[in-house]
């Protein structure tokens, strides 16, 4: 590998994409078909969100090294993101190409967990059951890979609607935190699960920790905390209105007069019929009193309690699937954490 490609990778890891691109451009100026430089260019374009450009570089690299799994992974992911941005036939066709590219990577390198994980990423929106099966295969190869556990949790949380899906998703996110205790995205998803359960306090605390761990989540955390505060205020207002309504129907200082219920004393001879007659008489009088009180209650204005809508958590990836709140959190770590490509020499 050339020294310039090594420097470009260091720059890319530091987030200096343009500097890395310039360095790779110098390599390609001397050799337009350098497979490693082309693959790295494709990867850089993907990480920068330039998916069409990523496909162009991947296609050029494939003409030089058609059986390099790394390039097929880049192609699969770029097609996947473009399929989510497209609609109709174009989106369907891109999804098919993404799936085919991911399967090709698995065929070329079946002992790499990353290939099964990326195949699952291309399946989760259309066939979550197959995605989960491939994630299990990935975990057999790398049981402690946090990226695979994270994608498994996201698939269960967002794409599966079974009775145990949310509990399994929570277990997957907690496994991520076991492996990486400061994993902001896993904690973010756990915060949303807490809110879904109605535990706004725990959700808010976890959201604040997410913002501390990763400032890139700052905007979305602020919006969600504001949303939670608004829901809490609406519920508190509903409780106050209900209490005020009850007080207005029964003014303070006014007591209802005690109702004297005439009870026929049973005969001293202990006649069973007499005792039953007395009991029936008491019940009839009580029923009349309750009916009178009920009619008074029905005439009073009723209070409608506010029921907050189900919290629609914003998807973490990609931005064009955004829901409420409008701000989208940063791109997750999966599945762009490719191993460093090791290209064979051109044939």
Residue 305 has a pLDDT of: 30
Higher pLDDT pick, 301 / 6: 6
Residue 247 has a pLDDT of: 65
Q: Is 59 a member of any domain?
A: yes
Q: Tens digit of pLDDT for each residue in 159-171? A: 998 889 999 999 9
Q: Tens digit of pLDDT for each residue in 185-236? A: 999 999 999 999 989 999 999 999 999 999 988 888 999 999 888 888 888 8
Rounded Cα–Cα distance for residues 316 and 150 (Å)? 12
Q: Are residues 78 and 116 in the same domain?
A: no
Percent of the chain residues past pLDDT 70, beyond the cut: 70
Q: Tens digit of pLDDT for each residue in 31-79? A: 999 999 999 999 999 999 999 999 999 999 999 999 999 999 999 999 9
Q: Is 23 exposed, middle or buried (0-12, 13-18, 19+ CB in 10 A)?
A: buried
Q: Are residues 325 and 176 in the same domain?
A: yes
Cis peptide before 234 (omega within 30 of 0): no
Helices (H), 86-123: 88-108, 113-123
Q: Are residues 234 and 336 in the same domain?
A: yes
Domain of 200?
111-246+310-340
**Conformational region of residue 270, where left means phi above 0, alpha means psi within -120 to 50, and beta covers everything else:** left
**pLDDT at residue 301 is higher than 90:** no
Q: What is the mean pLDDT of residues 315-339?
A: 36
110 in Cβ contact with 72 (< 8 Å): no
Q: Are residues 168 and 235 in the same domain?
A: yes
Q: Are residues 95 and 120 in the same domain?
A: no
Q: Band of the pLDDT at 252, cuts 50, 70, 90?
A: low
Q: Number of structural domains, the chain?
A: 2
230 in Cβ contact with 213 (< 8 Å): no
Mean pLDDT of the chain: 78
Q: Band of the pLDDT at 240, cuts 50, 70, 90?
A: confident
- Identify the three-state secondary structure at position 162: coil
Q: Which of 109, 143, 173 is the last residue of a domain?
A: 109
> Domain containing 71 — which CATH number?
1.25.40.10
**pLDDT at residue 92 is higher than 90:** yes
Q: What is the mean pLDDT of residues 299-309?
A: 31
Percent of the chain residues past pLDDT 90, beyond the cut: 57
């Amino acid at each position: 590998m050339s020294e310039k490609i090594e420097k470009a990778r260091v720059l890319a890891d530091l987030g200096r994409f343009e500097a890395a691109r310039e360095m790779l451009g110098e390599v390609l100026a001397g050799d337009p078909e350098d497979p490693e430089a082309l693959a790295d260019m494709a990867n850089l374009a993907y990480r920068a969100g330039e998916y069409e450009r990523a496909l162009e570089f991947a296609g050029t690299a494939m003409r030089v090294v058609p059986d390099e799994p790394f390039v097929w992974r880049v192609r699969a992911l770029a097609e996947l993101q473009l399929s989510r941005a497209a609609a109709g036939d174009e989106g369907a066709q891109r999804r098919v190409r993404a799936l085919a590219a991911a399967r090709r990577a698995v065929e070329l390198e079946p002992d790499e967990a990353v290939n099964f994980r990326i195949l699952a990423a291309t399946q989760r929106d259309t066939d979550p059951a197959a995605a989960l099966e491939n994630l299990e295969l990935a975990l057999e190869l790398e049981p402690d890979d946090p990226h695979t556990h994270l994608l498994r949790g996201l698939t269960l949380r967002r794409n599966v609607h079974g009775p145990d899906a949310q509990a399994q998703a929570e277990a997957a996110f907690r496994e991520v935190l076991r492996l990486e205790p400061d994993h902001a995205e896993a904690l973010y998803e756990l915060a949303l699960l807490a809110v879904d359960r109605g535990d706004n306090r725990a959700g808010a605390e976890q959201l604040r920790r997410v913002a501390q761990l990763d400032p890139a989540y700052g905007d979305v955390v602020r919006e969600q905390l504001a949303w939670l505060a608004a829901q809490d205020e609406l519920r508190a207002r509903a409780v106050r209105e209900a209490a005020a309504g009850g007080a207005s129907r029964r003014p303070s200082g006014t007591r209802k007069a005690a109702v004297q219920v005439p009870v026929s004393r049973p005969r001293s001879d202990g006649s069973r019929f007499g005792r039953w007659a007395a009991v029936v008489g008491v019940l009839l009088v009580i029923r009349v009193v309750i009916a009178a009180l009920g009619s008074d209650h029905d005439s009073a204005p009723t209070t409608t309690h506010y029921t907050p809508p189900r919290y629609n958590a914003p998807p973490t990836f990609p931005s064009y699937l955004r829901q409420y709140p409008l701000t989208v959190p940063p791109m997750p770590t999966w599945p762009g954490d490719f191993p460093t490509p090791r290209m064979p020499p051109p044939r």
